[in-house]
Amino acid sequence: MKKVERINIIMRYINNRAHFTISEIMREFNISRSTAIRDIREIEAMGMPLVAEVGRDGGYFVMNNSVLPTVRFTDNEIKALFIAFMATRNQQLPYLKSRQSLAEKLLGLISENQQDDLVLLNQILLFEGTNPYNPDLLDLSDLPNPMLEKLIQILLLDSYLLITTNEEKVIKSYAIYLLHLYHEKGIWLIECFDLKNEERWIFPVDNLISVESYPSKKRLSKKKILEKLSKQEEVVNLVIELGPKAIAQFKKHHPLKISISYTNPYQTTAILKTFINVNNSEELTEITNWLLFLGNDIKVREIPKEVLVGLQERLCLFCK
């Protein structure tokens, strides 16, 4: 790590703590005592008001009401931020409208040469889902469900929610504990624990018509919820081994709940174990298509007969 970068990170580190010592800085950044002292002195010279405490266990603290010196980004950090902004175009993400103001503020912090680099990146880089003739295009269809931002705002305060959904013109309310909010196949989904039925559920955010904190005083604790979910874990019924080509395909796309475990240090072979609900026709079709997508660099160790039949039917279609 370069000295300038290290000092920048140390400044953030100490500014987020009420108290720190030279020994802590040495351990955290793997530097010698003399280097740590020299870095602290340079930070003081830059204007950060550090107060030294005398004594055996003495250290430093940042004076109250201090202002951290101006943030300085490296060239690579600026490119990383800008490319992240570019990659969010037309992705139906929350707070999408704020991307433009963020980009303008970022441009105001950097030099003309750095701005020229970003203009060039903007011209040559395209991401999946963007319009190549107008990469900055923001159609109405690209904006997320307005309920998504409200949901995130409430989640920052409370994970116990009372949600109301409109499912095929049927209005229903559920008291839930939200486990995950995720984006899959262009749809935002809520994975949650139904507090009444004590089951895991998944709801599309598009079906929500209202969200609010769940006011009940007798809440089931998060620990109890996770214990109940662990007892409900399904028995593994799909086990396959993946070679390097299949692993590459897995990295391109895989269902959210499925993960792999590498079986050698070079990460060229892996094993996949999961449960497939064969009574869910949609999941059955999805997993069948996905296994074909992985290609022939797999070895099947265990598979539900329903999935096997689906694979055989799909392969027969190709043979005709």
60 vs 169, 240, 264, 288, CA distance in Å?
62, 55, 46, 60
Of the three residues 62, 96, 112, the one that is the final residue of a domain is 62
What's the chain's Rg over C-alpha atoms?
26
Residue 253 and residue 315 in one domain: yes
How would you class 211 by CB atoms within 10 Å of its CB: exposed for 0-12, middle for 13-18, buried for 19 or more?
Answer: buried
Q: Which amino acid is at 316?
A: C
Q: What CATH number should be reported for the domain holding residue 20?
A: 1.10.10.10
Q: How high is the pLDDT of residue 20?
A: 84
Q: How high is the pLDDT of residue 136?
A: 64
CA distance 211 to 228: 24
**Quick one: which of 209, 217, 225, 223 has its CA closest to 176?**
225
Q: Give the sheet arrangement for strand 160-167, strand by strand.
A: 199-204, 187-194, 170-184, 160-167, 208-213
**Quick one: which of 174, 157, 257 has its CA closest to 208?**
174
Which 3 state secondary structure label does DSSP give 23?
A: helix
Residue 152 and residue 116 in one domain: no
Q: What CATH number should be reported for the domain holding residue 168?
A: 2.30.30
Q: Which amino acid is at 132?
A: P
For residue 68, being part of any structural domain is answered with no
Which 3 state secondary structure label does DSSP give 10?
A: helix
Q: How high is the pLDDT of residue 68?
A: 54
CA distance 46 to 8: 11
For residue 258, being part of any structural domain is answered with yes
For residue 11, being part of any structural domain is answered with yes
The distance from CA 180 to its chain's CA centroid, rounded to whole angstroms, is: 10
Q: What is the pTM of this model?
A: 0.59
Ranges in the chain, pLDDT < 70? 54-58, 63-72, 90, 129, 131-142, 232-234, 318-320
Residue 313 and residue 243 in one domain: yes
Residue 199 and residue 249 in one domain: no
For residue 69, being part of any structural domain is answered with no
Count, in order, helices (H) and strands (E) of the chain. Answer: 11, 11
For residue 216, being part of any structural domain is answered with yes
For residue 158, being part of any structural domain is answered with yes
Q: How high is the pLDDT of residue 303?
A: 92
For residue 67, being part of any structural domain is answered with no
Of the three residues 203, 231, 259, the one that is the final residue of a domain is 231
Ranges of beta strands (E only) in 13-122 are 50-52, 60-62
CA distance 143 to 141: 6
Residue 301 and residue 278 in one domain: yes
Q: Which domain holds residue 162?
A: 146-231
Of the three residues 197, 231, 265, the one that is the final residue of a domain is 231
Q: How high is the pLDDT of residue 236?
A: 87
Residue 204 and residue 254 in one domain: no
Residue 98 and residue 118 in one domain: yes
Averaged pLDDT of the chain: 83
303 vs 122, 199, 260, 294, CA distance in Å?
46, 25, 16, 15
Residue 150 and residue 227 in one domain: yes
Residue 134 and residue 153 in one domain: no
Residue 102 and residue 79 in one domain: yes
Q: How high is the pLDDT of residue 28?
A: 87
**Quick one: which of 250, 232, 257 has its CA closest to 290?**
250
Residue 114 and residue 157 in one domain: no
Number of folded domains in the chain?
4
304 vs 86, 237, 270, CA distance in Å?
42, 6, 20
Residues facing 162 on adjacent strands: 175, 212
Residue 159 and residue 95 in one domain: no
Q: How high is the pLDDT of residue 109?
A: 78
For residue 180, being part of any structural domain is answered with yes
CA distance between the termini of the chain: 60
